[in-house]
Chain A
Amino acid sequence: MELQTVRDEDIETLLIDLHRTHGYDFSDYSRASMKRRLIRLITIDKFPSFAELHYRLIHDSFYLRRFIEEITVNVTEMFRDPEFFKYLRQHIIPTLGTYPFIRIWVAGCASGEEAYSMAILLKEANLLHKSLIYATDLNPRVLEKAKSGIFSLKSIKQYSENYLASGGYEDFSSYYSAKYDVVIFNEALRKKIVFSTHNLVSDSSFNSFQLILCRNVLIYFNTRLQSHVFDLIDKSLDNLGYLAMGTKETLRFAGISPKYKQVDPKEKIWRKHDS
């Protein structure tokens, strides 16, 4: 099924109805990606037409959970972009260590891989005992997975390679126990992460942090929503706190950019300097 088989007006109507019935507002999500995922969902769930999907979504609140999971992108890895985590390990974590208590927000955490990666970095810096990681996503289904700390054994090979490339020096397998084809991450890591639903579109700032990771989340939003989220992040970040974004994301054009300085021209990490 190709993109032109669905009319743009029908998508707009669906998004309006979804907002009105269930409170999820996707109206400022980038359209090309949204349209592709809607069509993908029609194909995998075998809806005879777009109208059928629309009807099911509005009338079946159980299906809503699946819809939210499938319509958002939840692809992630542990220690994704190892160079970034190496930089955190060498340059950012030591500064965070000077605080009596460390609060980190992973915004748009999907199945939690980055939150667990952060917990491992803090553990290895001997800071985990005085840290708390808030990991949020709008998607309740992926958060359940994240909370369980259970990941497939298949992905662990890639994760441990990333871990080593990020400057990890422990035996990666000491962080989890394997059973059949899954692994479960240690309780010591899990209890330092608070998983909770939070929608960047509609929910407000809920705490203040010294480090916020929001990587490969804003690319799915249009510039209006991006600017809204930048304001929300700014409200949630302590002065001298850090904001980390995805490899191809930037703060350069954001309204809040005058009070932020990129810490290194090669890294997508900005530090807040509120005068």
Chain B
Amino acid sequence: MIADIITIGGSAGSLQVILEILPELRSDLPVPIVIVFHRKATPNPEILINLLNVKSTLTIKEAEDKEKIKPGVIYIAPANYHLFIEKDHSFSLDASEKVNFSRPSIDLTFLTAVDVYKNHMAGILLSGANSDGIRGFEAIQSQGGYCIAQDPVTSQVPYMPAKAISKKVVDYIATPSEIIDLINKCQPASAV
């Protein structure tokens, strides 16, 4: 898989999969990963970030406003903000209306990423009960990027990946271990 960025969206039942994937990623991952998943805003968001960091040799952090995106770093969208990607490969936060009943919205991160990375990106949709991410997948497909849906059989809540598959906007249907494999073999476009 050739991509300059990997964006992952998940909703209900996705934290478990993320916890499964993170420890298995290669420590010299040449691309950044941006994870948007639906969660409640809590007074101590650092607890989740710490929990994820314990699982991984890569740096895992909340994406910050205007932060430059670096390869080998895993960024988590902060709760209660949409996360946008700018043309200069930095993040912007946005506190506007919820989209698909969600803030952060997976669609908005995917859509802004496509606008910057065109075909050189991959999107992954994990377990969830929402259709957030489907429009994003359609945009990634239309630009020629990769769309990977978690195998609904392995998803705690299959609705979201199953919906993407039924819309025919998926290149790979992958189990968590296949997702790990795809990410670990990912090469940035510049290296090819």
Binding site for B on A (CB under 8 A): 2-4, 8, 30-33, 35-37, 73, 75, 83, 216, 218-220, 222-223, 226, 246-250, 266
A-B residue pair count with CB separations less than 8 angstroms:
73
Known: A2-B138, A36-B112. 13 other contacts (CB 8 A): A2-B139, A4-B115, A32-B85, A32-B112, A32-B115, A33-B94, A36-B84, A36-B111, A218-B65, A219-B65, A219-B81, A220-B94, A246-B95
B36-80 interface code vs A (CB 8 A; 1 in, 0 out): 000000010000000000000000001011100000000000101
B107-128 contacts to A (CB < 8 Å): 108, 111-112, 114-115
Of all A-B residue pairs in the complex, the 4 with the closest CB atoms, nearest first, are A32-B84, A3-B115, A30-B92, A73-B96
Q: Nearest Cβ in chain B — how far from A184, in angstroms?
A: 24
Binding site for A on B (CB under 8 A): 43, 62, 64-66, 78, 80-81, 84-87, 92-97, 108, 111-112, 114-115, 135, 138-139, 142-143
Residue pair A219, B93 in contact (C-beta under 8 Å)? yes
Chain A residues whose C-beta falls within 8 Å of the C-beta of B139 in the assembled complex: 2-4
Q: A30-B84, A226-B66, A249-B65 are in contact. Are A3 and B97 (CB under 8 A)?
A: no
Residue pair A75, B87 in contact (C-beta under 8 Å)? no
Chain B residues whose C-beta falls within 8 Å of the C-beta of A32 in the assembled complex: 84-87, 92, 94, 112, 115
Q: List 7 A-B contacts (CB under 8 A).
A: A2-B142, A3-B111, A3-B114, A218-B65, A219-B81, A219-B92, A226-B66
Q: Nearest Cβ in chain B — how far from A246, in angstroms?
A: 7
Residue pair B115, A248 in contact (C-beta under 8 Å)? no
Chain A residues whose C-beta falls within 8 Å of the C-beta of B85 in the assembled complex: 32
Chain A residues whose C-beta falls within 8 Å of the C-beta of B112 in the assembled complex: 3, 32, 36
Residue pair A36, B66 in contact (C-beta under 8 Å)? no
Compute how far the CA of A249 lies from the CA of B115 in the bound complex, rounded to whole angstroms: 25
